[in-house]
């Protein structure tokens, strides 16, 4: 494992090891406090961020490393290509954490850099978020092979990451989206094929009445940064897919999940996201622990 560009690039064994390491680091942080001693990590961000930027910076510090934040808008693109940026950053830093608009940018960075590159969000996948979500579900539900998650809303980058995560861990995942907003069909097919060996079941529908009982409901904003969509059309298409108390009760959902930022009154009601069923802050906290497990693994660090 040299880079983490997409969650589906992992094997089931690698995903399980990352989750186990996430639990261990969370429980015994002091044992890992010098794993990145003397290491410098570049945080290269094209898109604004709260959780990703703050959790990576704090996590790297807790592992004994140093990070530098670079606003990519003025550095990469018209000024110079991602390949030059990646090659240069690798001269001074030991890894690159990149939050970008397009997956192709990550690929270009990784091809140019002999140092590890981590996907901190792209248009295709958000692996760090999904690993934190799987960690959260393990903490709340136990065995992921016995856990059922429902995704409601847009078949976006987080949805793609969860599809891969479900296939890798044996999680049951049902996805419901408005027509025209389904996740990538090839990703779903690939995940279903892998799921046949891990025990995962992954289904996609547009019909809310077809949804089965679930442990948790997960949704995301209807508008992602960088997307060009007709706002009136989106609001019309997604309105029936709002997560509210009635839906939580109908599906017997014990927990609510959201990667944030959330827009109360749009994709979810305040009554749900601010309730005791909500895991959003636990998900946000677990970003740090899951990402630290990724960093430790990429650097082949060890602690006892």
2 a catalytic residue? no
Marked catalytic residue, from 3, 287, 289, 291: 287
Q: Is 264 a catalytic residue?
A: no
To 5 degrees, how large is the angle CA 75–CA 35–CA 38? 50
Six token digits for residue 256: 């609510």
Please identify which of the residues 129, 174, 242, 283 carries the catalytic annotation: 129
Residue 129 known to be catalytic = yes
Catalytic residue check, 259: yes
Catalytic (active site) residue 258: no
- The span from the CA of 292 to the CA of 297, in Å, is 8
Catalytic residue among 53, 126, 187, 258: 126
List 125, 128, 159, 259, catalytic entry: 259
Q: Which of 3, 94, 123, 220 is catalytic?
A: 220
How is the chain classified by DSSP, letter by letter?
---BS-GGGS-HHHHHHHHHHHHHHHH-GGGGTTTTTT-EEEEEESS--SHHHHHHHHHHHHTT-EEEEEEGGGTSSSSS-HHHHHHHHHHH-SEEEEE-S-HHHHHHHHHH-SS-EEES--SS--HHHHHHHHHHHHHHHS-GGG-EEEEES---HHHHHHHHHHHHHT-EEEEE--TT-PPPHHHHHHHHHHHHHHT-EEEEES-GGGPPP-SEEEE--SS-TT----HHHHHHHHGGG-B-HHHHHHTT--EEEE-S---BTTTB-HHHHTSTTB-HHHHHHHHHHHHHHHHHHHTT----
**Residues with a known catalytic role:** 99, 126, 129, 220, 259, 287
């Amino acid at each position: 494992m040299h880079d983490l560009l997409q969650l589906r690039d992992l094997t089931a064994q690698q995903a399980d090891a990352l989750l186990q390491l996430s639990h261990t680091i969370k429980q015994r942080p002091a044992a890992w406090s010098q794993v990145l001693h003397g290491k410098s990590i570049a945080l290269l961000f094209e898109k604004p961020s709260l959780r990703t930027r703050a959790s990576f910076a704090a996590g790297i510090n807790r592992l004994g490393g140093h990070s530098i934040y670079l606003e990519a808008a003025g550095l990469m693109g018209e000024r110079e290509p991602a390949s030059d940026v990646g090659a240069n950053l690798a001269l001074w830093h030991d890894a690159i954490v990149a939050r970008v608009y397009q997956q192709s940018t990550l690929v270009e960075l990784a091809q140019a850099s002999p140092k590890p590159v981590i996907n901190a969000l792209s248009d295709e996948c958000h692996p760090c978020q999904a690993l934190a979500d799987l960690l959260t579900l393990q903490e709340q539900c136990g065995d992921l092979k016995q856990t059922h998650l429902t995704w409601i809303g847009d078949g976006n980058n987080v949805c793609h990451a969860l599809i891969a995560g479900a296939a890798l861990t044996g999680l049951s995942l049902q996805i419901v989206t408005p027509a025209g907003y389904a996740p990538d069909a090839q990703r779903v097919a690939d995940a279903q094929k892998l799921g046949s060996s891990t025990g995962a079941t992954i289904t996609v529908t547009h019909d809310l009445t077809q949804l089965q009982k679930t442990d948790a409901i997960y949704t995301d904003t209807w508008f992602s940064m960088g997307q060009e969509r007709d706002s009136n059309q989106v609001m019309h298409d997604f309105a029936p897919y709002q997560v509210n108390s009635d839906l939580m009760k109908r599906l017997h959902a014990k927990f609510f999940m959201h990667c944030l930022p959330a827009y109360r009154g749009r994709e979810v009601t305040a009554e749900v996201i601010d309730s005791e069923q909500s895991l959003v802050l636990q998900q946000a906290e677990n970003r740090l622990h899951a990402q630290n497990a990724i960093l430790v693994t990429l650097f082949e660090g060890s602690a006892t």
